[in-house]
Amino acid sequence: KLLQATVRANRTGHFMWVGSDSWGAKVHPVRDQEFAAESAITILPFRNSLQ
């Protein structure tokens, strides 16, 4: 909803987005709003699998 509001207000490129691991690992948070999320910084922590 936030990215949609940015597009509606014609403010794409105005904000610097910093996203959680959800943005970095999944497509659906920004689907159909890629232009608004362009240049976003996402953080995906390194993790080891336990066996």
Q: How confident is the model at residue 12 (pLDDT cuts 50, 70, 90)?
A: confident
- State the DSSP H helix or E strand holding residue 19, giving kind and residue range, or none if neither: strand 18-19
- Local confidence band at 2 (pLDDT 50, 70, 90 cut-offs): confident
End-to-end CA distance of the chain: 39
What does the block give as tokens for 27?
A: 């497509």
CA-nearest of 5, 10, 11, 3 to 37 is 3
Residue 48 burial (CB count, 10 A): 5
Residue 40: predicted pLDDT: 80
pTM above 0.85, yes or no: no
- Name the E strands within 1-51: 18-19, 41-42
Residue at token pair 């659906």: 28
Query: Which pLDDT belongs to residue 8?
Result: 87
Whether pLDDT at 51 is above 80 = no
